[in-house]
């Protein structure tokens, strides 16, 4: 079942193209006045049994064994990109720097209005992240530490939009409650595939609006049969 679902991974797990940026950013404006946001990113951990001889690589900052997944969402609460599962000790900023997401953001989120690449004639879109991510023109982050009035105003605009990814995590783990608890399966490659398959099902339920009965049946098959590889 998991292998079958993963065959359609590219149809339900892909970053937007430039034609979507304006629409995506306008939808984020319903959350706050911060302009030009197209996506939000954050990491989420799935607890696992600590593998033998792993030398603490899977121990996260909460002192739990986990796999770390980086998820990117849009204002429709769809998951547009996923990277993982990396060691629980992996830092979100490191995962971002090694991902296709940073390449995408660096090369695609600045849209020039004409072909001569006039340095002052472009629209810079961005992704939102928390303070764990590096601040870039294409990655806007929360300001931490002692805040000025301007810093606080910035955070007040950014936070409502960034909360979209937190709501996505809540919806996703509410639908797939298996990932709220420790996963017993020691085949970590399969755990990652199971997570990816679950993301695909999550996106399908948003895009296709499938019936509750069909959705529940698919969830039951996936979550009750970890041996079905």
User: How confident is the model over 160-198, as pLDDT tens digits?
Assistant: 999 999 999 999 998 888 899 998 877 888 888 889 888
pLDDT of residue 10 exceeding 80, the answer is no
pLDDT of residue 226 exceeding 70, the answer is no
Write the pLDDT tens digit of every residue in 48-101: 998 888 888 999 999 999 999 999 999 999 999 998 878 889 999 999 998 899
Burial class (CB in 10 A: 0-12, 13-18, 19+), 160: middle
Q: Which residue has the higher pLDDT, 122 or 154?
A: 154
Decide: 220 and 1 in contact? Cβ < 8 Å. Answer: no
pLDDT value, residue 170: 92
pLDDT value, residue 11: 66
Q: Which residue has the higher pLDDT, 211 or 47?
A: 47
pLDDT of residue 220 exceeding 70, the answer is no
pLDDT value, residue 228: 44
Read off the tokens for 127. 């992704």
Using CA atoms of 152, 103, 192, 93 in order, give the dihedral in degrees to the nearest 10.
-40
pLDDT value, residue 227: 45
- Measured CA to CA, the distance from residue 180 to residue 140 in angstroms comes to 29
Write the pLDDT tens digit of every residue in 138-160: 999 999 989 999 999 999 999 99
pTM of the model: 0.85
- Measured CA to CA, the distance from residue 112 to residue 46 in angstroms comes to 40
Question: Which residue from 206, 219, 130, 124 is spatially nearest to 168, judged by alpha carbons?
Answer: 206
Sequence spans of domains, the chain: 14-176
Phi, psi of 91 (to 5 degrees): -85, 140
- Measured CA to CA, the distance from residue 8 to residue 5 in angstroms comes to 6
């Amino acid at each position: 079942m998991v292998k079958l679902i993963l065959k359609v991974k590219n149809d339900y797990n892909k970053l937007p193209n430039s034609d979507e940026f304006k629409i995506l950013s306008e939808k984020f404006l319903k959350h706050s006045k911060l302009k030009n946001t197209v996506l939000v990113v954050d990491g989420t951990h799935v607890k696992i049994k600590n593998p033998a001889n792993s030398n603490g690589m899977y121990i996260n900052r909460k002192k739990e064994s986990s796999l770390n997944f980086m998820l990117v969402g849009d204002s429709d609460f769809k998951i547009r990109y996923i990277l993982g599962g990396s060691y629980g000790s992996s830092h979100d900023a490191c995962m971002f720097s090694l991902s296709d997401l940073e390449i995408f953001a660096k090369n695609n989120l600045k849209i020039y209005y004409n072909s001569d690449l006039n340095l002052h004639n472009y629209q810079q879109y961005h992704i939102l992240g928390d303070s764990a991510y590096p601040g870039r023109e294409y990655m806007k982050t929360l300001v931490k530490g002692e805040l000025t009035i301007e810093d606080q105003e910035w955070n007040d605009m950014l936070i409502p939009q960034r909360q979209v990814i937190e709501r996505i995590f809540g919806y996703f783990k509410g639908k797939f409650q298996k990932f709220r608890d420790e996963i017993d399966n020691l085949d970590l490659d399969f755990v990652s595939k199971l997570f990816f398959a679950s993301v695909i099902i999550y996106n399908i339920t948003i895009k296709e609006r499938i019936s509750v009965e069909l959705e529940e049946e698919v969830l039951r098959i996936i979550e009750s049969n970890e041996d079905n590889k």
